[in-house]
């Protein structure tokens, strides 16, 4: 028996058949829990599909925009999606929190801090061969207690890209185990693909997804093509420095800050 579309997405049986993609697109366009904004700035689009280069070189060296410029443009897009969320989904009486998925999710720090949104962290990493998710930096025990007892009315999971949805699904499951209701959870992303949107809204029908752009489908490696951003995590960290994060040091525990410093050093050696 052929696996369901969701099973194919989760287990990397990609790409989906053209008929399945059309069915997915039709279905999600009718879903009122999906909001698609007005697209993204062209400078975020970069050449990364040159398979003669290794993954990091694809993301950071085969490019048309300098890293610092790319990050500045990315911040604009993060501001846009967070502002839309605050304006259309919340009120002054609401208590809002965000759980950031490292690495590219850290691009939202400026926007979240500007709106005084409480920030929590976890680091999840996708195995590029199996697409399975590993939690490398769990939410701290102290933060778990705060989340469970914080009385949050809105919970956002901001990340730059929504591909298979495996990372977002991991975060949603973590939150649900802590007693957060699905209807309180929103996914914010700069770029999403139909497969990831379909998968999440099928598994978690009460969540909301806000994306600046709905792009093309996933290829056999689980990357968004037509057009996608490449590996946003590598691009965000390439030639980045700890000084960029120093204005937000209060949003990190000592262990998280140490981990971030180490991560930046490894990426830029």
The CA distances from residue 182 to 13, 61, 155, 159, 207, in Å, are: 27, 40, 9, 18, 6
Token pair recorded at residue 142: 């102290």
> Is the entire prediction scored with pTM above 0.85?
yes
96, 90 in Cβ contact below 8 A?
yes
Residue pLDDT, tens place only, 82-127: 999 999 999 988 999 999 999 899 999 999 999 999 999 998 776 6
For residue 15, cis peptide bond before it (omega within 30 degrees of 0)? yes
User: What CA–CA distance (Å, rounded) separates 168 from 161?
Assistant: 10
Say if residues 191 and 212 touch (Cβ distance below 8 Å). yes
> Looking at 28-37, 54-63, 137-146, which range is the least confident one?
54-63
CB contact set of 44 (below 8 Å; sequence gap of 6+): 65, 70, 73, 74, 77, 190, 229
Helices (H), 30-124: 55-60, 67-89, 109-114
- Token pair recorded at residue 10: 């989760």
**Tens digit of each residue's pLDDT (9 = 90 or more) over 54-77:** 766 766 666 678 889 899 999 999
Are 222 and 163 within 8 A, CB to CB?
yes
Is residue 6 scored above 80 in pLDDT? yes
Q: What is the pLDDT of residue 116?
A: 93
pLDDT value of residue 94? 94
Distance of CA 102 to the CA centre of its chain: 9
User: Which residues, in sequence order, are CB contacts of 26 under 8 Å at separation 6+?
Assistant: none
Domains in the chain (CATH in brackets) are 7-268 (3.40.50.2020)
Burial readout 22-41 (b: 16 or more C-beta within 10 A, e: otherwise): eebeebbeeeebbbeeeebe
Q: What is the mean pLDDT of the chain?
A: 89
46 has pLDDT over 70:
no
């Amino acid at each position: 028996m052929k696996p369901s579309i969701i099973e194919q997405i989760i287990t990397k049986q990609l790409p989906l058949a053209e008929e399945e993609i059309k069915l997915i697109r039709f279905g999600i366009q009718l879903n009122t829990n999906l909001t698609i904004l007005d697209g993204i700035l062209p400078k975020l689009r970069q050449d990364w599909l040159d398979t003669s280069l290794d993954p990091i070189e694809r993301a950071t060296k085969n490019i048309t925009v300098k890293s610092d410029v790319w990050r500045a443009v990315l911040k604009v897009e993060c501001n846009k999606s967070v502002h839309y969320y605050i304006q259309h989904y919340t009120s002054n009486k609401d208590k809002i929190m965000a759980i950031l998925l490292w690495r590219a999710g850290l691009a939202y720090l400026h926007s979240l801090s500007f709106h005084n949104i409480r920030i929590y962290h976890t680091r999840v990493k996708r195995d590029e061969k199996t697409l399975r998710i590993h939690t490398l930096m769990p939410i701290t025990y102290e933060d778990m207690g705060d989340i469970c007892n914080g009385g949050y009315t809105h919970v956002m999971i901001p990340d730059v890209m929504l591909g298979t949805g495996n990372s977002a699904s991991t975060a949603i499951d973590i939150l649900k185990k802590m007693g957060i209701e699905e209807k309180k959870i929103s996914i914010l992303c700069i770029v999403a693909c139909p497969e990831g949107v379909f998968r999440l809204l099928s598994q978690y029908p009460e969540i909301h997804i806000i994306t600046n752009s709905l792009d093309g489908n996933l290829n056999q490696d689980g990357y968004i093509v037509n057009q996608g951003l490449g590996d946003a995590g590598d691009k965000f960290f390439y030639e980045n420095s700890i000084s960029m994060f120093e204005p937000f040091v209060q949003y990190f525990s000592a262990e998280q800050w140490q981990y971030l410093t180490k991560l930046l050093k490894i990426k830029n050696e």
